[in-house]
Each structure stands twice: as C-alpha cells, then as structure tokens.
Amino acid sequence: MKLARYVGDGRIEIREEPAPACPVGGLLVKTLASGLCSGELMAWYMDQKIPHVLGHEVAGKVIESQDDRFPVGSQVFAHHHAPCMNCEMCRKRLYVHCSQWKKTKLVPGGMAEVFAVSSDNLSDTHVVNDLRPTDAALIEPLACVAKSIRLGQPEGKSYAVIGLGAMGLMHMLALPTGAIGYETSEARRRWAASLGFQAKVPSEATPADVIFVCPGSPQAVNQAIQIANPGGTIVLFAPMPPGGPAPIDLNPAYFKDLSFVNSYSCGPNDTLQAIEWIRAGKLKAEHVVSDFTGIDDLPRAYLAMRAGDILKAMVVFE
C-alpha cells in the first residue's frame, strides 16, 4: 500500500509498504480522506518523529472488525490518541495526560491507504456513516478547537482570533457571531471574508475579552497581550519551538490581570462536540481545505502548505 512518511528537513516521501494486520479487538480501516495538519509542518516537532507516517485527521471504511460496535462497511472516525477513561487524569478530564492516551496511535498513520485501530483507541472512535468522508476527516482538528473554545469560556464576551489559517478559520466558524480575525496574509483575509467573517490586519485590532492565538509565535502572543481587555483571557492554541527564549512582553499582562490558558489537543468530550457541530453544518471541508489531492501529489502540496502558498491540503483516497 502507499503511505506518506516524513523523512526530515521538511520533506515527505510516498512509499510502498505492507498493509498492517487487524489488531486483536480492533479494526482495519481503508482510508477515505486524510487532512494535512499544520502541526505536521513544524520541522522542529516532526524531526523528533522520523521516520513518521503522516496523518491523524482521518476517516475511512472498516474492512475488518473485531468489535461488533464497528461493523465491516461502516464509516468511522478514529482519534489517533484515546484515553483509558478510568485513571486519575481521565477523572479530571485531563485526557491528554492519561498514560494510555500518550501511548496509543493509528498504525502506521492516517496518511496511508489502510490503517489499523487498536482496541485501546476505540474509546474515541465513532461510526459516522451520515457524514461525507472529507468532513469526517476534520473531526479531530475541530475537536481541538472545541477544547480551545471551552477553555476560553467566551460566552457573553468579545473575542478575537489571531491567525486565519485553517485552525483560525475553524475557531471563527465555531465561535458565536461577532468574532474578529486578524491575519497578515491578504489571501487568507480574503478567504475569511468569503465566509462572511470580519478579517483585519493586526494594525486594525480592537480590544477583546478572549483572544485565541493560533500561530505559535511570540509576535502573535504579544499582539494578544496588547489588545486584551483588563481581566481578559489569552488562549494559546499552538506550541512554540522549545529552548526559547521567547521575546514576549509580560509586563502589560501583569498590570492588566490577564490569564493565559494552554490548549493542547483534545479529549473524547471534545470529539463529541466536533461531531455535533459538523452534523449541524458548522463546518464543511470546503470552508478550510483549499487543495483536495491524491496521495501521489502530497509532497508538492506539503511544500506548498508549508510555504503558505495554500491554505490546507487533504488527500482523498477514492
């Protein structure tokens, strides 16, 4: 089968490798659609994972099942990490810190013609026969947005989104009407405007109570500090490269009594929210995916997305 491996230096290769076997108690799934995550473009992050198979925004059709809840022929979304639901971290709803969550993964990954889902992963796997595969593949990134918004607690407040890439757009789609997005790229501002959103350059920023910072950059965090209202909340949606130092001016953050919230990945509760949103029509793949492509063209799309020339790529397998 064909799959996409990250090989280092910001490059991926399409390779032919054997398909996995169905794990005991798990599933074997034929991939229908797999999105390219912006996190998979970060060389400092990906270089730690070599030779990593891309793909965790994925939906597919079950071709072998050892669990009656997921019959052969059903379409499923499978989260690449899934918690045990029984440990202390899970009881606190800190699912991403569950030891099982950290150990689980799709084999070899979602950017492959076939992938395996272990029995441990089934605590966050769902039958989604009613969704288009291209929409179902976006459940995982939208679930990350659901967690971000939940932690930001934006109800009854004014809110801003810094960075209008695919993840910023998902925030705008999921937030109540009235959010303002800020983006330096004219092309991305035009895309956001085509969806009916307010999209401005950072110099036009106005104060807000809750600011979602989508790029992992000090400049974006500093902008959030500048525009936050006293007592405001800044949600950090993406990591910064390790090792610092990050030139962030925390002086005004102190005197404005600002709160910082980190939002890393998501849990099963957020997955359910994302599925509900997609079923309600809040997100369709065409809202955030600029390039639907085959796996053989993924290396080109990967470089283009990494360079900022396209918004988001998704591989469609049939």
Q: What is the pLDDT of residue 239?
A: 93
Length of the chain: 318
pTM over 0.85: yes
Give which of 228, 222, 254, 204 is closest to 152, Cα–Cα: 228
Tokens (6 digits) for 186: 């004219």
Cα distances from 7 to residues 47, 49, 134, 197, in angstroms, run 8, 9, 26, 38
Strand partners, 78: 125
> What radius of gyration, in Å, describes the C-alpha atoms of the chain?
19
DSSP, collapsed to helix, strand or coil, labels residue 158 as: coil
Q: What is the pLDDT of residue 184?
A: 97
pLDDT in tens, the chain (318 residues): 999 999 988 899 999 999 999 999 999 999 999 999 999 998 888 888 888 999 999 999 999 999 999 999 999 999 999 999 999 999 999 999 999 999 999 999 999 999 999 999 999 999 999 999 999 999 999 999 999 999 998 777 899 999 999 999 999 999 999 999 999 999 999 999 999 999 999 999 999 999 999 999 999 999 999 999 999 999 999 999 888 787 999 999 999 999 999 999 999 999 999 999 999 999 999 999 999 999 999 999 999 999 999 999 999 997
Cα distances from 176 to residues 92, 108, 169, 173, 303, in angstroms, run 27, 38, 13, 8, 34
Instruction: Give the list of residues 6+ apart from residue 19 with CB closer than 8 angstroms, or none.
Output: 1, 28, 113, 114
According to DSSP H, which parts of the chain are helical? 43-46, 88-91, 99-103, 133-136, 139-152, 166-174, 186-194, 218-227, 251-255, 268-279, 285-288, 298-306
Q: What is the pLDDT of residue 151?
A: 96
| Rounded-to-integer distance, Cα 27 and Cα 62, Å | 7
Q: What is the pLDDT of residue 278?
A: 98
| Rounded-to-integer distance, Cα 96 and Cα 151, Å | 14
Residue 302, exposed/middle/buried by CB under 10 A (0-12, 13-18, 19+)?
A: buried
